Amino acid sequence: MKIRYECGACFLRQAKEAMDLSTDDEDLKMELTSDIFKFLSTRFDKNTNSNKTGSAIHDLIKEKTGCRDPYINEKKLGNEIALKYLPLAQNILNENDTLENRVKIAIVGNILDFGAFKLNDDIEYFIKEALNKSLAVKDIVEFEDSLERHDKVLYLVDNTGEIVFDRLLLSKIKEYGLDITIAVKSEPILNDACMEDAVDAGLDEFGEIVEIGAGTVGYVDSKISQEFRVIFNRHEFIISKGMGNYEGLTEINLSKKEVYFLLCAKCTTISKDIGVNIHDMLLLRNRK
C-alpha cells in the first residue's frame, strides 16, 4: 500500500515513541529527529511504500541508539495480560461458538493494546462489544470454503498480546484438519511477535513456527529470506493479521493465492484504501 499525507504524522509519532523507549539522551533524540526529517524529505511521496519507509525509520533508531528491542517490556507485558484474559474469551465463546465469532475474537486481539491495559480494566466489555458488532466486510462463507478445501495454511501473526487471542482461531482451524505454519518476525520491530514471544504464548501447540527472515513493519517482500519465500510460495491459502501485513501484501501480486485479511481499520489511510469506516472490523479476501 502506498502512503497518503496522513502517514507523515504517524511516522513521526511512532518514531518519537521508539526513541523514548530506546534512550534518555535528549541530544541523540534531537539528532535522530533531524535524520528522520532528512530521510522523509527525499522519500515521502505518493509512490512510497508505507511498510518499507516505516521499517527504515525504525532501523535508523536502532542503529543510532544501540537498542535492538525498544518494546521488549511492552511485549512481555502484553502477552502476560492477554494470557490472563484468554479463559474469559473462551467462556464468552462457549455461549456462542461460531467460526465468525472466533474470527471476531482474533480481530479483537488486533484492536486491544494489551500493554496499555491493567488487570482491573474491563476487557470483558470490549470483547462482548466486539462480538455484538457486525464485520464491515464479512467474507466468512469464502473463508470457510477455503478452510474446507485446503490442507495447509500460512498464518501471518501481528503483535504480542494479540497472538494469545489468535490461539482461539488457530484451534478452530485445526478442527478442519489443516497443517498450520505460523510466521513471525526474525528481528524485533515495534511490538510485533518474534519466535520467543510466539512460543511463550503457546502458538507452537497449533503448528510449526517459522521466521520471515526480517524485522520489518508488517510484510516487506524485498526483505524476507529465501527460506521464507519458499514457504510463502508453496502456500495458496494465507491468513494475514493486522494492518502492517495488509499494507505489505497489497504491494505484491496475490492473484494465485487466497489471502484473508483480519484487521481493524485503525487509521484513515487504511480505511480509505479498503473503503470502510475507521474502527471497522473486517474479514476481507483479496480480490486480485
Contact 56, 38 (CB under 8 A): no
Specify the pLDDT at position 46.
87
**Strand bridging mode 258-264 / 281-285:** antiparallel
CATH topology of domain 72-285: Rossmann fold (3.40.50)
CA angle 258, 260, 262 (to 5 degrees): 170
- For the chain, state the CA radius of gyration: 18
Decide if 70 contacts 59 (C-beta within 8 A). Answer: no
**Predicted pLDDT at 277:** 93
Topology annotation, domain 7-65 = Helicase, Ruva Protein; domain 3 (1.10.8)
pLDDT of residue 124: 74
Rounded-to-10 torsion of CA 82, 88, 94, 95: -130
What is the chain's pLDDT, residue by residue, as a tens digit (288 residues)?
888 898 999 999 999 999 999 999 999 999 999 999 999 999 898 888 888 899 999 999 999 999 999 999 988 888 888 888 889 889 888 989 999 999 999 998 877 765 555 545 567 777 788 778 889 999 999 999 999 999 999 999 999 989 999 999 999 999 999 999 999 999 999 999 999 999 999 999 999 999 999 999 999 999 999 999 999 999 999 999 999 999 999 999 998 999 999 999 988 889 999 999 998 999 999 986
In this prediction, residue 77 carries a pLDDT of 85
Sign of CA dihedral 139, 144, 148, 154: positive
Closest of 108, 100, 99 to residue 129, by C-alpha: 108
Q: What is the pTM of this model?
A: 0.94
Domain ranges of the chain: 7-65, 72-285
